[in-house]
A and B are shown apart, each in its own frame.
Chain A
Amino acid sequence: MLTATELTFRAGHRALIDGVSASFEPGRLHLILGPNGAGKSTLIRLLARLLRSAEGAVLYDGHDAEHWHERELARRRAVLSQAVEVAFSMPVRELVLMGRYPHFGARPGADDLKICDEVMRFFDVSAMADRSYGTLSGGECQRVQFARVLAQIWRPIEGATRHLFLDEPLTFLDIRHQIDFMGKVRSFASQKDVCVVGVVHDLNLAVQFADRLLLLDHGRVLADGSPAEVLTEENLRTAFAVTPVMLTNPATSKSHLVFESSSELR
């Protein structure tokens, strides 16, 4: 369980995040939506405590993480950032093993190595284990990074929720891998001690995979709830200045959104 109360984050005089309160439950996949500049990445970074906010609180399982040791926090929350740039290329296996850094001292244990093998299999990157990261394509890099991030919180922790934060994880993936990736996140998030919070741009993927949506606009919460509650015509018009049209796929009877730009400019 993750709770944010009255979070505010300012850059200079401008509030990038302005009094956001929300809670994120374990066993659910939460996605944050919003137009460019709405503060989605800032909110994710605040929730993951990559950024510290002067105002408001972020509670992990009801505890203020303020006084935790960085490593303590790293054992129960992992973060996949927008674009990870690796300064010096290294073998894929070593990079994935970094996900276990918070768990071992000088040398990785047998368990750490086993977990790496498991996550690499989960993300279909085992075949590249010995390749140099610098030789991978953008999509392959993203999958390796995700394997690294999941290695960090792969095993349950007694008495604590594991938190996973995803900041636009789909950027470099083709459509097949986007769907594949969201399916894997979905199945990881269905564990009852895992809380996943992500930022995505694709509203259709959000409808398809998310349990709960949080719609941000100008650093404030515009709507919070199930996809049906959040993705209303009015909300989308306010946030994105587009008019949604809901179409139903006759084969699967699933709903899909298409958009017309609004004639009225905000």
Chain B
Amino acid sequence: MNARRADLWCLVLLFLLMIATTVASIRYGAMDFSGREMAAAVWGKLTRQPDMPLDQRIFIELRVPRAILCLLVGASLGVGGTLMQGLFRNPIVEPGLVGTSSGAAFGAAIFYVFPALLQFNLGGLTLPVVACAGGVLSTYLVFALAHTKREGRSSILRLLLTGLAINALFLSGIGFLSYVARDPSARSIIYWNLGTLSGADWNSVVIVGVATVGGLIPALAFAKSLNALMIGEDEAVALGVNVGRLKWTVLTINVLMVAVATAFTGVISFVGLIVPHILRIVRGPDNRFLILGSALLGGILLSVADLIARVCLRPAELPIGIVTAVVGVPVFLSLLRSREYLS
């Protein structure tokens, strides 16, 4: 079919674009690397040269993992957004809706303000673990509160509203913590709430990578069922979809991807909301395309945003959440105006 081929071309295009932005993203930053320097650094790493120059080590140990982490986190947020919008049959939903990212942010705020409360220390992994635990806890709370014995039509709506309420609760908790915090921790909370990839290393790449790939594959397997859900819960059941199982699986995938990503980078808003929209405006709502497409476009968008965040005030950095909104909103608004998308 023609539409299929167009989808495929679109994915190829996105893939090439992703390569291009990644190359730009590792080349430019607080310090620029030429093609030759980059090649030398990679060669040095591959041949395990013992005494690499400092700038080459910076490139291999900081710049490259940061670029890859951008792709992974962007993919997680993009796919999470597609899954949540599909599941809730609602275009204004974003992946943090079921409480995941506000819970993770709350966990991080506790880490910054009352580190003594935490009875364990995992070194560099402490913050990610606490944040991830917060994300999982708040999501669990949303489900436990939204769950009733009678499975009815309203269960998705109840989940949505419970998510809004729990989000508000955790956000006020974060507000309280930043209010009572002293200056350096208060700044850390603010910084973390706007998202940053400055903590990227190979360790985080591996962990986020496992979560991203581990979420993406089952998400693709459920794409057709999510399509059926577009025309309604009853209709999906009539078409042979086990809607109960679909809901739980998709939500679990989303929590896994978003909680882990948020744990390493802080709260990056807007990517999960607009990426599925941009793709839907361009190519329509088929989730089989959207899931792959939003993995690629999410990565692209976050890479571009991170590049801008690193370059525009260099050698200082902007929180990435500011850039994602500044870059994403105009693109999003102009697409909304140009097509009959919402008719």
**A residues touching B (Cβ–Cβ < 8 Å)?**
45, 48, 50, 69-75, 77-79, 81, 84-91, 94-95, 98-99, 101-102, 106, 132, 134-135, 148-149, 152
Contacts and interface: CB of A to CB of B under 8 A. Distances in A.
Interface in B231-286: 231-232, 234-235, 237-242, 280, 284-286
A50 B284 CA distance: 28
Interface size class of B (residues with CB under 8 A): 20 to 34
A89 B343 contact: yes
B5 to A, nearest CB: 13
A135 B91 contact: no
A101 B224 contact: yes
Contacts of A78: 238
Closest 6 CB pairs of A and B: A74-B240, A88-B285, A87-B89, A71-B240, A79-B238, A102-B240
A69 B239 CA distance: 12
Given A87-B229, A91-B3, A132-B343, 19 more contacts: A50-B234, A69-B240, A70-B240, A74-B238, A74-B239, A75-B240, A78-B238, A79-B234, A85-B89, A90-B230, A95-B231, A98-B227, A98-B231, A101-B239, A106-B224, A132-B340, A135-B343, A149-B238, A152-B238
B242 A86 contact: no
A77 to B, nearest CB: 8
B206 to A, nearest CB: 30
A81 B237 contact: no
A152 B340 contact: no
Given A79-B234, A81-B234, A88-B280, A101 B240 contact: yes
A228 to B, nearest CB: 33
A178 to B, nearest CB: 22
Interface string B130-159: 000000000000000000000000000000
A86 B343 CA distance: 12
Q: Chain A's interface: helix, strand, loop or mixed, by majority?
A: mixed
Q: Chain B's interface: helix, strand, loop or mixed, by majority?
A: loop
Interface of B: 3, 89-91, 224, 227-232, 234-235, 237-242, 280, 284-286, 288, 340, 343
Given A88-B280, A132-B343, A81 B241 contact: no
B123 to A, nearest CB: 44
A84 B231 contact: yes
Given A81-B235, A87-B90, A106-B224, A70 B242 contact: yes
Of listed B232, B237, B284, B288, residue having the most chain A CB within 10 A: B237
Of listed B91, B232, B238, B240, residue having the most chain A CB within 10 A: B238
Contacts of B237: 50, 70
A94 B280 CA distance: 14
B340 A101 contact: no
A135 B231 contact: no
Contact of A87 (B3, B230, B284): B230
Contacts of A132: 340, 343
